[in-house]
Amino acid sequence: MSIIINRNTGWNAWFLGIQIIVNGEKVNTIEENKSMEIDLDNQKALLKVQQFGIESKEIEVKDGDVLEIKSSWMYITMSIIILSVIIFSLIFLNGFKIETLDRNKE
C-alpha cells in the first residue's frame, strides 16, 4: 500500500526539502521537482507537509493516491514581500555607522 507525491513548488525555497508527515510522524523529505513513493501501513492515513514551521492542512490519503505539492498564493506573496524588504535594505539602508571617537586636536 503506497501513495506517490510530486513536488512542484517553483522557486519558493527550492533549495530546501519539504518534510512529509504521515499520521503525525516525519517519514521523509522531498526536494523540488522530485517524485517519491511513500508506503502506508493501512489503507488510509493522514498526511501533511511542512517547511520552516509552515504547514499544509492535513488531508486523508488512500492507497494508490497521487499527490502534488504546490506553493499557495499566500506563501508566494509573503515570499515576494520578504525578498523585496531584504533587497531594499541591502540597496538603500546603511547597515553600519562609522564615527570618529577621538581626534587629536592641535
Q: How many residues does the chain have?
A: 106
In the prediction, which pLDDT does 93 show? 78
Q: Using an 8 Å Cβ cutoff, are 47 and 21 in contact?
A: yes
Whether 53 contacts 65, CB under 8 Å? no
- pLDDT category, 91, cuts 50, 70, 90? confident
- Hey, what amino acid is at 65? D
- Answer yes or no: is pLDDT of 106 > 60: no
Q: In angstroms, rounded to a whole number, what is the distance separating the alpha carbons of residues 42 and 65?
A: 13
Q: What is the pLDDT of residues 15-69, one digit of tens each?
A: 789 999 999 999 999 999 999 999 998 899 999 999 888 889 999 999 999 999 9
- At 59 the pLDDT is 95
Which is more confidently placed, 32 or 73? Answer: 32
